[in-house]
Amino acid sequence: MQNEYNESEFLIETIVPKDELIVSRTDLKGNITYANETFAQISGYTVDELIGKPHNCVRHPDMPKQIFEELWNSLKSNNSWEGIIKNLRKDKGFYWVYAQISVVKKDDKIVEYKSIRTPISFQDKIKYQKLYDEIKKETKDLQRKVIYQ
């Protein structure tokens, strides 16, 4: 499978300001139902462009699929999830966040998900980029073994 992205497109980082919160809400399928102006500015979209889009429109190709499997399993089990995420901007740049995602209930039933994201340190960006690169490499190596066995 060939990568549809040119790696040089992903070299421009947008820094999330320390005093800003990125906030969004999604329906149970992950479609954005609310996005604050900070989310729009940092992601390079307008609020109107974000509403109705799947939240994975900001999923960076560096992110291992396992992270999102863990996230969704946690949410579907009625638990919150938190972790470090590298997101993709509309212009193919990127930004890093610490994400806290929780379920929103009405009458004891999950009706939506709420996400609050904040900036992370430069050291954490390096740490998590290395970790995610390693996870993706291990996944590719495992897939090769399965294919060639």
Q: Domain extents for the chain? A: 9-147
Cβ atoms 108, 120 nearer than 8 A: no
CATH architecture of 9-147: 2-Layer Sandwich (3.30)
Q: Which two tokens stand for residue 62?
A: 């560096």
Alpha carbon distance 147, 149 (integer Å): 6
* CB-count exposure of residue 144 (10 Å: 0-12, 13-18, 19+): exposed
Judged against a pLDDT cut of 50, whether residue 107 lies above it is answered with yes
pLDDT tens, position by position, 41-54 = 999 999 999 999 99
Stated pTM of the model: 0.85
* DSSP-assigned letters across all residues of 65-86: HHHHHHHHHHHHTT--EEEEEE
**Over the stretch 7-21, which tens digit does the pLDDT of each residue have?**
555 579 999 999 999
125: tokens are: 């960006």
